[in-house]
């Protein structure tokens, strides 16, 4: 019986010696998992912060581009600048028909140089941008049909029926 008691005490002592490392290992695993979870949360928060900063920068760039375009559009038309009569083309192959101040018509594309040194910078469906020596980029004005007031010297159009009779 003494032998069994001694053997039991030895087993208990051995178990006590082995038990603390297991508990320490369990605590270090829990602490490690907690640390990993905290790092993951920090990385996710940092990712969100970078996404928000990127969105802010994108919006700021859009606003700056719109302000620049607004400034270009609000430039007054300069007498003597060519006037856009038509824009044609597809994709990157765009052409514009310009009326010069002397009344001549010129067909241009990006990179064309006009008399007087004005260079065509870009052609889009809704605008033609040019740069002149000593001036910033300008948006060329579109052609506007002049509304004619009543002119008594201008003959009235001939009625269609009268025109067909006179042709006989």
Q: Kindly report, residue by residue over 74-130, the tens digit of the pLDDT.
A: 555 555 678 888 889 887 788 999 988 888 888 999 999 988 788 999 998 888 888
Question: In terms of domains, do 59 and 119 share one?
Answer: no
Q: Does 95 reside within a domain?
A: yes
- Judgement on whether residues 59 and 127 belong to the same structural domain of the protein: no
Contact partners, residue 99, CB within 8 Å, separation at least 6: 82, 83, 85, 105, 106, 143
Is 107 inside a domain boundary? yes
Q: Which domain holds residue 67?
A: 1-74
Residue 12 scores a pLDDT above 80: no
pLDDT of amino acid 34: 92
Whether 38 and 11 share a structural domain: yes
Residue 23: inside a domain: yes
Q: What is the pLDDT of residue 92?
A: 79
Q: What is the pLDDT of residue 99?
A: 87
Q: State which of 20, 45, 74 marks the end of a domain.
A: 74
For residue 145, being part of any structural domain is answered with no
**Pairwise CA distance, residues 58 & 52, whole Å:** 10
Q: What is the pTM of this model?
A: 0.40
Q: Which of 74, 97, 121 is the last residue of a domain?
A: 74
Same domain, 109 and 132: yes
Q: How many domains does the chain have?
A: 2
Within a domain: 156: no
For residue 161, being part of any structural domain is answered with no
Tell whether 8 and 68 lie within a shared domain.
yes
């Amino acid at each position: 019986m003494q032998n069994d008691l001694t053997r039991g005490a030895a087993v208990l002592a051995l178990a006590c010696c082995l038990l603390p490392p297991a508990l320490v290992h369990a605590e270090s695993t829990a602490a490690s998992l907690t640390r990993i979870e905290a790092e993951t949360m920090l990385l996710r928060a940092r990712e969100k912060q970078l996404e928000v900063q990127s969105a802010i920068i994108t919006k700021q760039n859009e606003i700056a581009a719109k302000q620049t375009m607004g400034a270009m559009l609000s430039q007054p038309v300069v007498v003597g600048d060519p006037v856009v009569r038509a824009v044609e083309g597809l994709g990157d192959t765009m052409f514009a028909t310009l009326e010069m101040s002397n009344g001549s018509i010129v067909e241009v594309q990006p990179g064309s140089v006009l008399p007087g040194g004005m260079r065509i910078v870009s052609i889009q469906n809704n605008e033609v941008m040019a740069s002149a020596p000593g001036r910033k980029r300008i948006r060329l004005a579109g052609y506007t049909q002049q509304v004619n007031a009543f002119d008594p010297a201008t003959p009235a159009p001939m009625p269609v029926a009268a025109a067909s009779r006179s042709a006989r």
